[in-house]
Amino acid sequence: MSFGIYLVGVVIFIGGVAWGLSVAGVPGLYVGIAALIMLGLGILTGVTRTRGRDHS
C-alpha cells in the first residue's frame, strides 16, 4: 500500500513538472522524455524504499 501512495505522489510531481515545462515553452518531445525518465526513477526509488526486508 505504501508503494501505491509513493507512486501517486511521484505521478503528481511529474505532472507538475511537465506542466511547468510546457508553460515555459519546452517542446513536447522533451517534456515526454523528461517525464519518462522521472517516472522510471520514481518507480526505482519507490521499490527500494518500500520493499520488505528479508528476515534472517
Q: Domain ranges in the chain? A: 2-44
Q: Name 7's Cβ contacts closer than 8 Å, sequence gap at least 6.
A: 42, 43, 46
The pTM (predicted TM-score) of the whole model is 0.82
Q: Name 3's Cβ contacts closer than 8 Å, sequence gap at least 6.
A: 46, 47, 50
> Tens digit of pLDDT for each residue in 9-46?
999 999 999 999 999 999 999 999 999 999 999 999 98
